[in-house]
Amino acid sequence: MADTNGEPEKARRPSLQVIVLGAGGGPQENNTTSLLVRSVASGWTKGSLISVDAGVGLSAITRILEETTPPSLGREVPLPYILKEGPFAGLELTAGMLPPDAPVLYPSIIASYITKSLIDTYLITHPHLDHFAGLVINTAGLTRPKRVAALPYAVDALKSHIFNNIIWPNLSDENNGAGLVNFTRLVEGGSPAIGEGEAKGYLEVADRIAVKAHAISHGHCVERHPHRGSTSSTATPLRYGSVDAASVASPRILPYNIASTARNHSIAPEPQASICVVDSSAYFILDLATNHQILIFGDVEPDSLSLSPRNHFVWQEAAPRIVSGQLGAIFIECSYDDSQSVDRLFGHLKPSFLIEELGNLAQEVENVRDIPHPSRKRKRVADADTIPRRRTGGAFGRLASGDESPISPKSVARRAVSADISHVPPLPPAATSVESSHLTTPTQELSLREAELGVSESEDGHQTGLPLKGLKIVIIHVKERFDGRNTSEVILKELRAHEEVAQLGCEFIVSKQGQSIYL
């Protein structure tokens, strides 16, 4: 882990660096979600950076450089010069970066170089403005193509609704566009035909950086029509489609049969209940040099509220990577504090639901390690019939157990989720009153492997542990409030309070703009 000055910890050489260009989710538009990621082994070479979302871009890089670069570069400070501070420390600045007639190497010039030369790929989690607006605006300064990679629904949305010669010129490589934006449609869950070994299913998108995408849910649409499985929307009045008044003559001056036809067409039929789930993505990002990984979520809702719960499948894939030590950090949103009512979450998380989701992850980790949670003791059993079985996931497991009920991805997901969240302990009533949390440290001597896993012995001699010990949870997409409170601080206090009860063992970090995180 590193502080905001970009100094990595000395315990081991870090594998990945994450630079926070934007840590918020609005309403302020200068800090919306954007993370730069690079493999440390690649240095600052051409195309070494990827941008995960791009709510902000060039302006945020410029602002960071204004605070961390010496003045008069190229005049009072000779070139070449290696940056010594900030998240871009180690980047070599040369005279070749100076445009003609530029007296000094201004921060804006360096930012332009980083955007044009170092960032080649943008991973977009979902097509909401606070996650791609910076990319679109920055295309005005591009001179070489950029890859925009996402799951197909996100690419299609950007193609149809943004780069369509109406909202923005068609700068894409499709429909005879200008070719400055090259779309790459990722395969959900990774393509089995790509990669080998630990990198199987991962698509290499930058030097030593490969990714795998999973679809997740970001709430449902806000239209006032019934949503199947939702009890909140059925009580709201229906909102009908608008009608162009100029296209419908007044019924008072038409014959009766024509007037009735016009009247019938001016009123939209009552819509049928449907599932209108908003899709988002979660990216596993693999450093090919070390096989270390991070996991970055787009906007996401808890499975317990979702009409299409899918986080569970991400946790199933993350668990073995946590146990092996490959996955060191999860970047996930927590948009609101716990005072936000459920009906106004709009597909986002707050601390109580984030802890619930991390509890689901902890259960998957325990399944892999086969170690019980501290709040439960393993039962002593005498025969095989009474041995608790690990949950068998998926439809095949249900068929093997003799369950012949109808199978669908949604029903399987719902059953798995309901089984996972049952162990989550009650949340404290006054989370904001807790100042800080301290991870429990075993007092007895442990083996090196047990210490790494946070494993200790319970009173009855069985192993227990903090299932997510050593895992860093980096909070992104915090929505600012203008009521005098620091929302980030409130969220962090609430998370630490919930952690004292849940005893998961993870470390919470609230990201901020300009932060550099080495992992």
Predicted confidence at residue 223, as pLDDT, reads 78
Spell out the residues 6+ positions from residue 316 whose beta carbon is closer than 8 angstroms to its own: 364, 393
* Strand-pair category, 146-150 with 472-476: unpaired
Provide the residue type at 43 as one letter: G
Q: Which of 106, 82, 34 is nearest to 514 (CA)?
A: 34
Grouping H, G, I as helix, E, B as strand and the rest as coil, residue 277 is strand
Nearest to 286 by CA among 111, 38, 474: 38
Mean pLDDT, range 193-216, rounded to an integer:
95
Q: Which among 149, 142, 71, 67 is positioned nearest to 105, based on CA atoms?
A: 71
What would the two tokens of residue 244 be?
């162009």
For strand 463-465 and strand 472-476, is the pairing parallel, antiparallel, or unpaired? Answer: unpaired
pLDDT of res. 491:
98
Q: What's the pLDDT band for 182 if we cut at 50, 70, 90? A: very high
pLDDT of residue 171: 98
Indicate whether 39 pLDDT > 60.
yes
Neighbours of 268 (CB within 10 A): 12
In this structure, the strands spanning 16-22 and 34-39 are antiparallel
pLDDT value, residue 454: 53
The average confidence (pLDDT) of the chain is 79
Give the bridge partners for 17, in sequence order. 38, 518
Q: Is the pLDDT of residue 7 over 70?
A: no
What is the helix (H) or strand (E) element at residue 257, kind and residue range?
helix 256-265
Strands 209-220 and 277-287: antiparallel
pLDDT at 88: 98
Pick 265 or 150 by higher pLDDT: 150
Phi, psi angles (nearest 5°) of residue 198:
-65, -20
Q: How many CA atoms lie within 13 A of 2 on its CB side?
A: 25
CA distance 404 to 400: 9
In this model, does residue 384 exceed pLDDT 50?
A: no
What ranges in 114-204 are assigned the alpha helix state H?
A: 133-138, 152-161
Residue 422 pLDDT > 70: no
Other C-beta atoms closer than 10 Å to the C-beta of 45 total 14
- The pLDDT tens digits for 94-150 are 999 999 888 999 999 999 999 999 999 999 999 999 999 999 999 999 999 999 999
Two tokens, residue 173:
């490589």
Q: What's the maximum distance between 2 C-alpha atoms anywhere in the chain?
A: 93
CA angle (142, 144, 147) in 5-degree steps: 95
Averaged over 383-401, what is the pLDDT?
Answer: 36
How many other C-beta atoms can be found within 10 angstroms of the C-beta atom of residue 139?
18
For residue 199, what are the CA distances in angstroms to 14, 194, 285?
A: 19, 8, 10
Q: Identify which of 2-11, 336-345, 448-457 has the greatest average pLDDT.
A: 336-345
Rounded CA gap, 299 and 289, in Å? 29
SS3 500: helix
Q: Report the range of poorest mean pLDDT among 183-187, 373-377, 470-474, 494-498.
A: 373-377
Please check whether the domain covering 16-221+275-370+466-518 is classified as CATH 3.60.15.10.
yes
Structure tokens belonging to residue 200: 């199987």
- Percent over 70 (pLDDT), the chain: 70
Domain boundaries, the chain: 16-221+275-370+466-518
pLDDT at res. 362: 98
Tokens of 116: 């044009």
What's the rounded mean pLDDT across residues 413-425? 38
pTM of the model: 0.76
- What pLDDT does 101 receive? 87
Looking at residue 275, its pLDDT comes to 59
Report which DSSP code applies to 116: I
User: Going by C-beta distance under 8 Å and a sequence separation of 6 or more, which residues neighbour residue 65?
Assistant: 86, 88, 107, 108, 110, 111
Nearest to 23 by CA among 516, 418, 376: 516
- Of 35 and 447, which is predicted with more confidence? 35
pLDDT at 370: 84
Please state, as a whole number, how many other Cβ atoms lie within 10 Å of the Cβ of residue 462: 13
